[in-house]
Structure 1
Amino acid sequence: MSESTHVSSLGMGDGLHHQVLASFPLCDITEEDLTQNPQFCKLLATLAQHVDQTGLTVPLKTELEKAEQKLRSQRRHWLRSESLHKGLQEMIQDHCIRKHHVTVPPDQNLFYETLEKCLLVAQCIRLLDPSSTTNQDQPSVLGLSPQHMMDLMPSEKDVQRMKQGLPEELEKHLRKSCFSLLSYYQPEWENESERLKTSKLSHLAAQLDKEKKRAESLKETCRENTVLLQRQTQLYLSELIKCIQLLQSLILDHRLRIQTDLDGKKLEYLEGKCELVLQKIKTEMVEIQLDMYTVDSIAAHRKIRERLESDLKACQVEKHSVELKLASFEILGKEFEALAEEYCRLRQKIEMNNWALKEFTRCSDK
């Protein structure tokens, strides 16, 4: 049984491939990979029952959710304290700016000075107080202790007065900050009445949470579309490569099939061109001959040729007779060869003496 038949025997077929791809969206695998590796596809399908889309097991996912819930709780507690601290600091800064522009009542100045001193002392005490992870025996900063900082606190009376007026002032500041946030979120609400702003402000958290969930949903959809686009891109590129390979094979087959006809046509063309060139060369040669040789020169050349041919025949006859004589002389052997050489030497000597005698006679006549 083949592997594809084995996958079909599971009763899932293509549905198994889609289930695996949906269970592991972060994996860079395609349906073709699962088809070619059915055992691996079966392993992923079994594994999907024990892990989520991020690859975490069910127990680990539960522990992670508990840890995240605890972290969110601690984060809310920290944000509550940090927001309160930042709000108090903003109140002090606003007061410092306001007192440079308008006259502030003395009791309000005392309120903010007491608040600022209390914040500074609390901050110094937090810095001087070692945490649970710090060695308790380490020396303190500049020999200071939290008790030294407590001595710098304002009077108890001023502190109590500040604490009594703090909730109201803090509420005013937070209300102002919330109205600023509301105006930033919806600028057209800035000119609304305070009562209407307060009503809309009570629904602002729900609206922001709704938009946050919508943004997260859009982000998740965008991520899914990105994964889908990547898979479609891979599939498109794979199909495109197959089409290119098929096109290359078709082009190669077509080229090989018509190459013989192209070569035959090219050979015929070259043969015809060569024949044309040869005919042109012959034509040029005939034109040159017609320009060089007139009727009289051709007749003279014909007579010269006849005379040369007759002289050639006479020379050939003479050559033949000389060859016969030489052949008869060769019969006499080496002794005749020595006589022939001596004869040639004497003939040369006689010729030299005759030439010398002629020269001497010519000089004597002068």
Structure 2
Amino acid sequence: MSVGPNSLTCVPPLGQGDEEHRQVLASFLLCQLTEEDLTQNPLFCRLLGSLSQHVDHTGLTLPLRRELEKAEQELQLQRLGWLRSEGLFQALQEMIQEHFVRKYHSSTTAENEEFYETLEQCLLVAQAVRQLDPSPTVGQDQLPFLGLSAQNILDRMPSGQDVQRMKQRLLTALSGHLKKKCFTILTYYQPDWENESDPLKSLKLSRLPEILQSESRKAESLGEKSKESAALLQRHMHCYLSELLGCIQIIQSLILDHRIKAQKELDVKRVEYLDAKCQIVTRKIRLEILELQMDTYTTEKIAAHRRIRNELDGELSAVRAEKRSVESALSSFEILGRDFEALVEQYSRLLQEIDNKSWAVKEFSQHAA
């Protein structure tokens, strides 16, 4: 079911004018509450109404909310301080890395080499001291790492004159590096400003935090409005679904009532249709069989089959007559009994001996010649 902006305006306001219901639903957006729940439980609705005066929309009490906001502010200050120091440290490291990259592409002066070497050494010492400095939550009696103390690391600092010269130049170099990074961020935010002059870029850069902050607030406002619209849409969807379920139930009851009356006629029509369809299919099958027989048995093939059948019938008659004669001879032989069998065996033996003698005479005649 699609819900468009025009259909939302047709929905009656939630609570049907009940201000208490709207207040409870607006105060507890995170809870899956519906107007139907509040209507069915009026005492629970009153309890939530009185409770909404002491808690916010997230469920926290007002004093706890103030303490939480204070803690978040302190955390924000601590985080801001850490981000400042960490950002400064990262910027100095980037300056050193860029110097080493430039050194491989072009020659540098001895003053630059001394400045960046002193800066790198100071950063390494500061980082090592920070790693060796124990946290307040760690016991002071803990053994130092590799037997080193912060003072041992501070002894590796460059000379005071080198550090002083490095500090005199550091502010200018760091300002230029940060200005370059700020211009990069500005052109990333608005690429059309890349070809403008540095004073104009500086002016726009000074207004960039306000622009980003206003856009952030606008995005947060749009996010809140989106959440409220989503909650409102969910409640409207619940109303629509309730109405839709009611309509579906009515339609189902109408369908059941009318289908029982029309079922008999529908069954009769269906049986008649299936019967007619069965007859058509049967006739079609019979037609296919006849067409297949006509294609298979032509006039010439039928005449040839008839001639073959006549010849086979004649041979079958001759075989049957021969069978009858053989059976009659066999029956006459069976009447003679065992004596005839002995004579047959003797006759066979004599025939075999005659054949043997004839073969011997023939062989003898060939060798004698």
**Fold agreement, TM-score > 0.5:** yes
Partner in structure 1 of residue 218 of structure 2:
214
Larger CA Rg, structure 1 vs 2: 1
2-structure distance, mates of 1:32, 1:57: 27
Matched, 1:151 2:155: yes
Matched, 1:178 2:182: yes
The 5 A counterparts of 1:30-109 are 30-109=34-113
Deviation by residue 1:263-296 (Cα, 9 ceiling, x = unmatched): 9x959x99xx9xxxxxxxxxxxxxxxxxxxxxxx
2-structure distance, mates of 1:225, 1:144: 61
Partner in structure 2 of residue 198 of structure 1:
202
Partner in structure 2 of residue 250 of structure 1:
254
Among 96, 120, 124, the residue aligned to 2:124: 120
Q: What is the RMSD computed on CA atoms of the aligned residues?
A: 2.1
Partner in structure 2 of residue 142 of structure 1:
146
1-structure distance, mates of 2:39, 2:257: 31
2-structure distance, mates of 1:146, 1:231: 64
Give the TM-score normalised by structure 2.
0.66
Shift of 1:236: 2.4
1-structure distance, mates of 2:235, 2:97: 55
Deviation by residue 1:202-231 (Cα, 9 ceiling, x = unmatched): 101111111111111111112222222222
Shift of 1:235: 2.5
Deviation by residue 1:100-149 (Cα, 9 ceiling, x = unmatched): 11111111111111111111101111111111111211221111111111
Which one-letter code corresponds to 1:166 in the other structure?
A: L
1-structure distance, mates of 2:201, 2:17: 59
Which one-letter code corresponds to 1:121 in the other structure?
A: V
Shift of 1:21: 0.8
Which one-letter code corresponds to 1:237 in the other structure?
A: L
2-structure distance, mates of 1:230, 1:92: 56
Which one-letter code corresponds to 1:28 in the other structure?
A: Q
Shift of 1:262: 4.0
1-structure distance, mates of 2:240, 2:201: 54
Out of 244-253 and 47-56, give the one that drifted further: 244-253
The 5 A counterparts of 1:228-247 are 228-247=232-251
8 A Cα contact 1:52 1:58, kept in partner: yes
SS at the partner of 2:76? helix
Shift of 1:193: 0.5
Shift of 1:84: 0.9
Deviation by residue 1:17-65 (Cα, 9 ceiling, x = unmatched): 1111111111111111111111111111111111111111110011011
How has the CA–CA distance of structure 1 residues 13 and 46 changed in structure 2, closer, same or farther, with 3 Å as cutoff?
A: farther
2-structure distance, mates of 1:94, 1:227: 52
Shift of 1:73: 1.1
Partner in structure 1 of residue 317 of structure 2:
none
8 A Cα contact 1:23 1:52, kept in partner: yes
Q: Which runs of 5+ in 1 are unaligned?
A: 1-11, 274-366
Partner in structure 1 of residue 136 of structure 2:
132
Out of 60-69 and 228-237, give the one that drifted further: 228-237
1-structure distance, mates of 2:89, 2:238: 53
Shift of 1:240: 2.0
Deviation by residue 1:150-192 (Cα, 9 ceiling, x = unmatched): 1111111101111111111111111111111111111111000
Matched, 1:28 2:32: yes
Which one-letter code corresponds to 1:131 in the other structure?
A: S
2-structure distance, mates of 1:57, 1:227: 23
Aligned residues: 257
1-structure distance, mates of 2:166, 2:173: 10
Give the TM-score normalised by structure 1.
0.67
2-structure distance, mates of 1:135, 1:98: 45
8 A Cα contact 1:34 1:41, kept in partner: yes
SS at the partner of 2:104? coil
SS at the partner of 1:100? helix
2-structure distance, mates of 1:256, 1:46: 55
Among 11, 18, 31, the residue aligned to 1:14: 18
How has the CA–CA distance of structure 1 residues 175 and 266 changed in structure 2, closer, same or farther, with 3 Å as cutoff?
A: closer
Partner in structure 1 of residue 8 of structure 2:
none
SS at the partner of 1:99? helix
